[in-house]
Amino acid sequence: MIEDKDQSRTHISQLGEFGLIDHLTKNFKITNKSTVRGIGDDAAVLDFKDNQLVVTTDLLVEGVHFDLSYMPLKHLGYKSVIVNLSDVYAMNAKATQITVSIAVSNRFPVEALEELYQGIETAAKLYKVDVVGGDTTSSTSGLLISVTAIGELESKDVVYRSGAKPNDLMIVTGDIGGAYLGLQVLEREKEVFNVNPQNQPDLDSYTYIIERQLKPEARKDIVELLKVLEVKPTSMIDISDGLSSEILHLCKQSKVGCDLYENKIPLDPQVISTCEEFDIDSTTVALNGGEDYELLFTINQKDYDKIKGNPNFTVIGFMREESAGVHLITRAEEKISIKAQGWNALNN
Amino acid sequence: MIEDKDQSRTHISQLGEFGLIDHLTKNFKITNKSTVRGIGDDAAVLDFKDNQLVVTTDLLVEGVHFDLSYMPLKHLGYKSVIVNLSDVYAMNAKATQITVSIAVSNRFPVEALEELYQGIETAAKLYKVDVVGGDTTSSTSGLLISVTAIGELESKDVVYRSGAKPNDLMIVTGDIGGAYLGLQVLEREKEVFNVNPQNQPDLDSYTYIIERQLKPEARKDIVELLKVLEVKPTSMIDISDGLSSEILHLCKQSKVGCDLYENKIPLDPQVISTCEEFDIDSTTVALNGGEDYELLFTINQKDYDKIKGNPNFTVIGFMREESAGVHLITRAEEKISIKAQGWNALNN
């Protein structure tokens, strides 16, 4: 993918480190009142007045988290912002600033980094966050992106993982499993391409799940919607590491148990049909797939009427006493203990 | 260095990603009032009340910024914190929180990462900053550390690079050139070791400069001292990239020129003797060496009496109109235009 772009390559060293940062960030605009000073000094200066802030950081590594043979750099830049914003929204906060650092080997010309930063800029614009800092350096191999995101909220609004209570309802946003299946399709096409580079893949029946993998969105809208509905979740977490592992985190930190109902897990029709095609169990994919940047939260039952019927939300479970354990209730009404099998970057 | 520690290696995958973070950060204590919630949720929660905050981030890459054949992991952890805190202090702020992300290849056992985190913990304790987040992932090769530091200050105290005025005095803290020379000594010993591994190096006459390279300190004390002296610099920058390149940044952003006096540049006796031994010009080392985590700032002349005679400060120059340009006034009273030759990670 990178190798196709040889027409007009500018070597990174032609710009130098400071020139490169200036060049890549020159179009970035400041839109948040809380950003007093952005890029260009030893540090950015922010002012949140009476509000609290949240801080989160994520590292994306080539060959571990992404494969440039099917991940366009623009999408990668976009996704690297999204994965961090998702964590900000999971605190019930408004995302306001990010810093972006990249380590990059010499095989990337400046034009490739421009594409990456176009994706970053697009995400920043759409989600209204300011890029206020970063670092650009060389790596001995591959590309690595480190993003730190900052958000703000009133202290009364913060939602931790630890607030779920027995009898609360467990809700997930959107649908899940798509991102993992999208990756399976892309991996398969890469194999086919390696055998026969002339083959033109027909990916029409996978557009939704491929987009879930390559260009995910973070649920900014959910934080805004919950405010409008006047619902404050008792606990919340983003489910980027897979539903089962995130449910276990939430239960552990809230010191509760939970029954998750298999027949309630929201799946897109494309997820179901692709699972059939790949002959994998859709529940396994939903539980362990990961990379769906949806939110999982719990609410007090008294708030049920406020969220009932809203297409963004699916009630998938019921919180119990800690001693009851964490279980999946299958379609056959079997009770199976949930164990973490989430995507683990360190085992890959 | 890593390879020596085979006695009790624990493979990273034995702990898993979450287990690893828990394990590495279990001793970390929260000491700042502004840290409402640290590690353990989707994001940390901070509260600075009426204060503003500053945010800065730096990436350290194995083979580019450090060489593990002479950089102990504990020192590396320590230094990765210091380089970020230095940027916070350069804003005239108090450092309060950091996040630390690492990408690490399988060749590092858990014990090696424990050493790295011991260094991080030591720096955090000494500089009174809370480690509030991070990410741990695998890399396809080598070790990479990404640190983001946060600090706080009253809005009236912030010092940018852009406030220097003609006739201001230019001051540098401590002495410079040591870190670069320390690296030269270490590189030489590595060569010697490669030829003859039995050779025991005698580094007694280089202790200061080696420490400047391997275990630098950030000038937290200067921010506190300036407050006590009631001096607010008109501009400030940290000189990690070399004096000449930082002077150019400061002059460009302040739209001023400057005369830097060669005979005023503070050099440690060990820097002078090692320069003689290596047959390199000490002024060149001071101007272009880099990695001295000292502060460069300008003050209005009316504040001169307050800093006069303080051993932490050396007046090295005089700010001029922008049209006068940026010059070094040599010992022979020649005037030489200063050009950036600072250490550039992207060319290495």
pLDDT value for A201: 78
Q: Do B42 and A161 touch (CB under 8 A)?
A: yes
Angle at A112 between CA A108 and CA A116, to 5 degrees: 120
**Whose structure tokens read 């990337």?**
A108
Contact B70, B215 (CB under 8 A): no
Tell me which of A15, A41, A80, A343 to substitute to probe the interface with B (most B C-beta atoms closer than 10 Å). A41
**Whose structure tokens read 């892309």?**
A186
List the single residue in B48, B93, B134 with the smallest CB-CB distance to A57.
B134
Work out the percent of chain A whose per-residue pLDDT is above 90: 75
| Complex-level ipTM | 0.89
CATH of domain A2-157: 3.30.1330.10
Q: Which chain A residues in 8-27 lie under 8 Å from chain B, judged by CB atoms?
A: 12-13, 16-18, 20
Pairing of strands A313-321, A256-261: antiparallel
Nearest-CA neighbor of A110 among A214, A17, A215? A17
Residues in chain A: 348
Amino acid at A157: D
SS3 A186: helix
* CA atoms B119, B125, B129, B135: torsion sign: positive
End-to-end CA distance of chain A: 23
A194 pLDDT more than 50: yes
List the single residue in A20, A93, A160 with the smallest CB-CB distance to B346.
A20
**Poorest-confidence range of A319-323, B133-137, B197-201, B274-278?**
B197-201
Stretch A12-26: mean pLDDT, rounded? Answer: 75
pLDDT value for A131: 94
pLDDT value for A200: 78
Contacts of B313 (CB under 8 A, 6+ apart): B171, B172, B173, B307
| Nearest CA-CA distance, residue A277 and chain B, Å | 31
**Poorest-confidence range of B133-142, B204-213, B316-325?**
B133-142
Question: Band of the pLDDT at B5, cuts 50, 70, 90?
Answer: very low
Q: Which chain B residues in 142-201 lie under 8 Å from chain A, judged by CB atoms?
A: 142, 144, 146, 148-151, 155, 158, 160-162
| Nearest CA-CA distance, residue A333 and chain B, Å | 31
What residues of A are in contact with residue B99 (Cβ under 8 Å)? 55-57, 148
Stretch B68-88: mean pLDDT, rounded? Answer: 95
Q: Do B346 and A138 touch (CB under 8 A)?
A: yes
A242: Cα separation from own chain's centroid: 11
pLDDT value for B292: 95
B56 is written with which tokens?
A: 């800065």
What residues of A are in contact with residue B136 (Cβ under 8 Å)? 346
List the single residue in B53, B236, B348 with the smallest CB-CB distance to A46.
B53
| Nearest CA-CA distance, residue A182 and chain B, Å | 22
Nearest-CA neighbor of B123 among B87, B90, B74, B88? B74
Contact A132, A97 (CB under 8 A): yes
In whole angstroms, what is the distance from residue B145 CA to residue B136 CA? 10
B97: Cα separation from own chain's centroid: 16
Residues in chain B: 348
A331 pLDDT more than 60: yes
Ordered DSSP codes for B238-263: E-TT-HHHHHHHHHHHHTEEEEEEGG
In whole angstroms, what is the distance from residue A229 CA to residue A158 CA? 16
In whole angstroms, what is the distance from residue A128 CA to residue A146 CA? 19
Q: Do B64 and A237 touch (CB under 8 A)?
A: no
pLDDT value for A217: 97
In whole angstroms, what is the distance from residue A37 CA to residue A50 CA? 19
**Interface contacts (A, B; CB < 8 Å):** 227
pLDDT value for A16: 67
Contacts of B143 (CB under 8 A, 6+ apart): B62, B68, B102, B103, B104, B105, B108
Q: Give the burial string for A189-210 (b: 16+ CB within 10 Å, else e).
A: beeeeeeeeeeeeeeeebebbb
Q: Which residue of A has its CA nearest to B237?
A: A42
How many alpha carbons lie under 13 Å from residue A261 in its C-beta half-sphere? Answer: 13
CATH of domain B169-337: 3.90.650.10
Question: Band of the pLDDT at A203, cuts 50, 70, 90?
Answer: confident
pLDDT value for A341: 58
Q: Where in chain B is the domain with CATH 3.30.1330.10?
A: 2-157
pLDDT value for A13: 72
List the single residue in A37, A57, A151 with the smallest CB-CB distance to B160.
A37
A137–B contact, CB cutoff 8 A:
yes
Question: Band of the pLDDT at A2, cuts 50, 70, 90?
Answer: very low
More confident residue, A202 or A294: A294
pLDDT value for B1: 40
Contact A116, A76 (CB under 8 A): yes
Q: A20-29 long-range contacts, Cβ below 8 Å, gap at least 24?
A: A20/A110, A20/A113, A20/A136, A20/B346, A21/A134, A21/A136, A23/A110, A23/A114, A24/A113, A24/A114, A24/A117, A24/A136, A25/A117, A25/A131, A25/A134, A27/A121, A28/A121, A28/A124, A28/A130, A28/A131, A29/A125, A29/A130
Which tens digits make up the pLDDT trace of B14-28?
Answer: 776 667 777 888 878
Work out the percent of chain B whose per-residue pLDDT is above 70: 94
Q: Which chain B residues in 271-330 lie under 8 Å from chain A, judged by CB atoms?
A: none
Question: Band of the pLDDT at A52, cuts 50, 70, 90?
Answer: very high
Which tens digits make up the pLDDT trace of B214-250?
Answer: 999 999 999 999 999 999 999 999 999 899 999 999 9
Which tens digits make up the pLDDT trace of B80-100?
Answer: 999 999 999 999 999 999 999
Work out the percent of chain A whose per-residue pLDDT is above 70: 94
In whole angstroms, what is the distance from residue B137 CA to residue A345 CA? 6
pLDDT value for B25: 83
CA distances from B40 to B90, B174, B332 (A): 30, 39, 60
As a dihedral over the C-alpha atoms of residue A241, residue A246, residue A248, residue A252, rounded to 10 degrees, the angle is 120
| Nearest CA-CA distance, residue A228 and chain B, Å | 23
B343 pLDDT more than 60: no
pLDDT value for A164: 98
CA distances from A45 to A32, A49, A91, A312, B152 (A): 12, 13, 22, 36, 9
CA distances from A125 to A46, A98, A120, B85, B154 (A): 18, 12, 9, 30, 29
Which tens digits make up the pLDDT trace of B93-141?
Answer: 999 999 999 999 888 888 999 999 999 999 999 999 999 998 888 888 8
Which tens digits make up the pLDDT trace of A239-273?
Answer: 998 999 999 999 999 999 999 999 999 999 999 99
Question: Band of the pLDDT at A18, cuts 50, 70, 90?
Answer: low
Q: Do B43 and A56 touch (CB under 8 A)?
A: yes
Residue ranges in chain B assigned as alpha helix (H): 16-25, 73-89, 110-126, 178-195, 207-214, 220-229, 243-254, 269-278, 282-288, 304-307
Stretch A39-44: mean pLDDT, rounded? Answer: 88
Q: Do B55 and A41 touch (CB under 8 A)?
A: no
Which tens digits make up the pLDDT trace of B279-314?
Answer: 999 999 999 999 999 999 999 999 999 999 999 999
Q: Do B88 and A44 touch (CB under 8 A)?
A: no
Angle at A166 between CA A164 and CA A167, to 5 degrees: 110
Contact A283, A338 (CB under 8 A): no
Identify which of A18-22, B12-16, B42-46, B323-327 has the greatest average pLDDT. B323-327
Stretch B259-282: mean pLDDT, rounded? Answer: 96
Q: Where in chain B is the domain with CATH 3.90.650.10?
A: 169-337
Question: Band of the pLDDT at B341, cuts 50, 70, 90?
Answer: low
In whole angstroms, what is the distance from residue B249 CA to residue B244 CA? 9
Stretch B317-345: mean pLDDT, rounded? Answer: 86
SS3 A29: coil
Q: Do A42 and B237 touch (CB under 8 A)?
A: yes
List the single residue in B42, B137, B149 with the smallest CB-CB distance to A64.
B137
List the single residue in B36, B40, B57 with the smallest CB-CB distance to A101.
B57
Mean pLDDT of chain A: 91
Element (H, E) at B94: strand B94-104
pLDDT value for A3: 46
List the single residue in A36, A41, A344 with the smallest CB-CB distance to B17.
A344
Tell me which of B23, B140, B346, B347 to substitute to probe the interface with A (most A C-beta atoms closer than 10 Å). B346
How many alpha carbons lie under 13 Å from residue A242 in its C-beta half-sphere? Answer: 21
Stretch B39-46: mean pLDDT, rounded? Answer: 90
B227: Cα separation from own chain's centroid: 21
List the single residue in B48, B99, B161 with the smallest CB-CB distance to A148.
B99
Q: Do A137 and B65 touch (CB under 8 A)?
A: yes
List the single residue in B45, B137, B344 with the smallest CB-CB distance to A91.
B45
Mean pLDDT of chain B: 91
Q: Which chain A residues in 28-67 lie under 8 Å from chain B, judged by CB atoms?
A: 36-37, 40-50, 52-59, 61-65
Contact A82, A293 (CB under 8 A): yes
pLDDT value for B10: 80
DSSP B321: E
B69 is written with which tokens?
A: 């054949």
